Chain A
Amino acid sequence: EPEVTQTPSHQVTQMGQEVILRCVPISNHLYFYWYRQILGQKVEFLVSFYNNEISEKSEIFDDQFSVERPDGSNFTLKIRSTKLEDSAMYFCASRGTGGSPLHFGNGTRLTVT
């Protein structure tokens, strides 16, 4: 069965550094998402992306965050200058058309020190 794949599985970075989290959505999917889960807290929506532009974003998704689909297969989340509070598990998700549900990747655990 097709899967959403995320790399790396764990990323450690220093405060103030830029990080790029990578995702390969399922190949025929058109809608792409990033969610995050801070340890012990709820899974939270960050951003959705369709037709090469952001369709919705949450309050969390401020100017430090950006997303990009640089080619036909990858979907990336960039955090420009990481803060300690950005430490979380970041999940990528994708879905097809209509009412099809989200398919999530296994997540990237980001640790900011």
Chain B
Amino acid sequence: AQSVTQPDIHITVSEGASLELRCNYSYGATPYLFWYVQSPGQGLQLLLKYFSGDTLVQGIKGFEAEFKRSQSSFNLRKPSVHWSDAAEYFCAVGASNAGNMLTFGGGTRLMVKP
């Protein structure tokens, strides 16, 4: 069975600092990996996705993520955090032949200090 683990439930960073949110997955085949962001009162917005090819993928809002098969990880990074990045971030894994049925991690809540 597929699973996703986000080890950090809460992270607080200062505005302008770099950010890395961890994601580890368990999946039997080549995974489709996603990062979503959920701002308060909003739905899940796709930040970026990895299907194949270059293991470093660029997303919206200055985010990037790196797929590392050997570590079963897909960590999300941003070089300089803005106060508006405060939100909850979800990593998810899916299979290409399962209608993109996604398994989500538990989420990491990011707080940004001024």
Q: B-contacting residues of A (Cβ < 8 Å)?
A: 4, 6, 31, 33, 35, 41-45, 48, 50, 55-56, 91, 93, 95, 99, 101-107
Contact B43–A50 (Cβ < 8 Å): no
The stretch from B18-26, B62-70, B71-79, B95-103 touching chain A is B95-103
Separation of A99 and B42 alpha carbons in the complex (Å) = 24
Residue among A42, A95, A101 making CB contact with B104, cutoff 8 Å: A42
Q: B114 contacts the other chain (Cβ, under 8 Å)?
A: no
Q: A-contacting residues of B (Cβ < 8 Å)?
A: 32, 34, 36, 41-46, 49, 51, 90, 92, 96, 98-107
Residue among B34, B36, B45, B102 making CB contact with A45, cutoff 8 Å: B102
Residue among A31, A43, A44, A107 making CB contact with B100, cutoff 8 Å: A31
Given A99-B51, A101-B49, 20 additional A-B pairs, CB 8 A: A6-B43, A31-B100, A33-B99, A33-B101, A41-B106, A42-B105, A43-B44, A43-B92, A44-B104, A45-B102, A45-B103, A48-B99, A50-B99, A56-B99, A91-B43, A101-B46, A101-B100, A104-B36, A105-B43, A106-B43
Q: A44-B104, A45-B101, A104-B36 are in contact. Are A99 and B96 (CB under 8 A)?
A: yes
**Which A-chain residue is minimally distant from B98 (CB atoms)?**
A56
Separation of A6 and B42 alpha carbons in the complex (Å) = 11
Separation of A42 and B108 alpha carbons in the complex (Å) = 11
Residue among B43, B99, B104 making CB contact with A4, cutoff 8 Å: B43
Separation of A50 and B96 alpha carbons in the complex (Å) = 15
Contact A99–B41 (Cβ < 8 Å): no
Separation of A108 and B43 alpha carbons in the complex (Å) = 10
Separation of A91 and B45 alpha carbons in the complex (Å) = 12
Determine how close the nearest CB of chain B comes to the CB of A1; give it in whole angstroms.
Answer: 11
Separation of A99 and B34 alpha carbons in the complex (Å) = 12
Contact B46–A99 (Cβ < 8 Å): no
